[in-house]
Structure 1
Amino acid sequence: MKKNKHYRCAVCKNAFKLNDVVQAPLVGKPVSDLIQHDNPDWSDESCICRSDLSNYRSKYVHSILESEKGDLSQLEKDVVDALRDHELISSDVDKEFEQKWTFGERLADRIATFGGSWSFLIIFALFLSVWIAMNSLVLFWRPVDPYPFILLNLLLSCIAAIQAPIIMMSQNRQEVKDRIRAQHDYQVNLKAELEIKLIHEKLDHLLSKQWERLIQIQELQIEQLSEINEIKKRPRHSA
């Protein structure tokens, strides 16, 4: 019978099972003050459903951020919504970012990666050595590109002219990725910080309640000891 008992939420006034509500003593004091401000009949005997409790926690977090930062950005609003809805905010930024790449962007990144590798330097050094050797020694009588290797300079200039914007495009995308990653890290850190703050406040509230109960128990024990001492001090009447 006790399992089927329903409890009425002090906010929405709907009836819920025990697993779907939170007792007032278990709610942190700042959140409890917000609830009491909107619901004057809120007391230690009251309870609140988890949905309304999440909304009030979201309001409390929103007020904290506004008091510390002023107007909230969209990133901070997303964090507050994630806290309210109990959603995970962490994600694989690199994977999500790479899924939006076009073929040209992928090709540019591969070219930029290859252009900054030892393989490219070795191949390019071999190419230059072979070109100079062929036009200086093997084709000495009829060189394709005689000294001072004007055709080679033209090829190098063309490669540099093409490679530079490709590298810049890759760097721009890397900057965008780094900015998205930094924003994501900020959201995750902010959410973790707010959750830890809520946990600390809840623990402090529970500890204060526990201390109050211990003090009440101690006072009751002192009263009982006093009564026992008074009984012992009374003179015993002989039969």
Structure 2
Amino acid sequence: MNNSNEQLASQFLKTCKDAGESEQKVMERLTKRLHISHNTNKNFDDSLTLGQRLADKIAIFGGSWTFILIFIGILFAWIVLNTLILANKSFDPYPYVFLNLILSMLAALQAPVIMMSQNRHAAKDRAAAEHDYEVNLKSELEVLALHQKIDVLRDQQWSELVSMQQEQIKLLTQVLEKNKTS
């Protein structure tokens, strides 16, 4: 069986003129009967460093309604505090220069963290897509192997049918000859 898998894999590689690294991995796994079943998400998440996990958590929180609502609340409180409550002694009077500085710093820090998280998620998606491709390729090879097995069985049945028909013709010929002689 292993030899037929190798033949099938080499036959498939001939039809795919530019077989890449993932195709070679699938062929190797198929011929050795290794399973392509690993949890891409778990493997990827296990390899993250503490900083990468923290960046992901910050990006998740920074893109949530909770963050937006808290941020709107803080902005509203800042404006109310500096405009109405501390009218004569406000530390950041109306055009709110200090508030703009803080918002700019927050955006300057938050944007790269979100981009790092997005880049990691893109890499995770690429790994998942590569895994899906390998599984699909292996499935295609398995289907080809099943087709070959069915073809072999069909050929055997045809040859058995032909031999049975030849035997029937032989018997009919004998019956006809007996009828002619009698």
Q: Which amino acid aligns with 1:88?
A: H
Percent identity between matched residues is 44
Matches within 5 A, 1:107-118: 107-118=54-65
Aligned-residue Cα RMSD (Å) equals: 1.2
1:81 aligned onto 2:20:
no
Matched residue type, 1:58: E
1:215 aligns with 2:152: no
Gaps of 5+ in 2: none
Q: In the aligned structure 1, how far is the partner of 2:16 from the partner of 2:41?
A: 31
Structure 1 residue 190 corresponds to structure 2 residue 137: yes
**How far is the alpha carbon of 1:69 from its aligned partner?**
2.5
Q: Distance in 2 between matches of 1:114 and 1:196?
A: 45
- CA deviation map 1:148-198 (0-9, x unaligned): 001100110010000000011001101110111111111000000011011
1:149 to 79, 92, 96: 96
- Counterpart of 2:9 in structure 1: which amino acid? V
More helix by percentage:
2
SS in 1 for 2:93: coil
1:67 maps onto 2:15 in alignment = yes
CA distance in 2, matches of 1:145, 1:58: 75
Residue identity opposite 2:2 in structure 1? S
Query: In the alignment, does 2:176 pair up with 1:176?
Result: no
Q: Deviations over 1:10-60 (max 9, x none)?
A: xxxxxxxxxxxxxxxxxxxxxxxxxxxxxxxxxxxxxxxxxxx41342243
Distance 2:8 2:157 in 1: 24
Question: Partners of 1:232 and 1:142 in 2: how far apart?
Answer: 130
Q: How does 1:134-145 map to 2 (within 5 A)?
A: 134-145=81-92
TM-score by length of structure 2 reads: 0.95
The equivalent of 2:77 in structure 1 is: 130
Cα deviation code 1:93-145 (max 9, x no counterpart): 00000000000000000000000010000000000000001101011111121
- Select the structure with the greater relative contact order (CA < 8 A; seq sep ≥ 6): 2
Q: TM-score, normalised by structure 1?
A: 0.73
Please identify which structure carries the higher strand content: 1
Tell me the distance in 1 between the aligned counterparts of 2:3 and 2:134: 19
Letter in 1 for 2:3: N
Alignment partners' CA distance in 2, 1:128 and 1:89: 52
Q: Distance in 2 between matches of 1:231 and 1:122?
A: 102
Instruction: Find the aligned partners of 2:50 and 2:40 in 1 and give their Cα distance.
Output: 19
After TM superposition, give the deviation of residue 215 of structure 1 in Å: 1.2
Q: 1:76 offset after TM fit, Å?
A: 1.1
Once the two structures are superposed, residues 183-232 of structure 1 have per-residue CA deviations (whole angstroms, 9 ceiling, x without a partner) of 11110000000110111111012101211111110110121022112212
The residue number in structure 1 matching 2:5 is 57
Secondary structure at the counterpart of residue 69 of structure 1? coil
Whole-angstrom CA distance in 2 between matches of 1:126 and 1:83: 58
Conserved? CA contact 2:8–2:145, under 8 Å: no
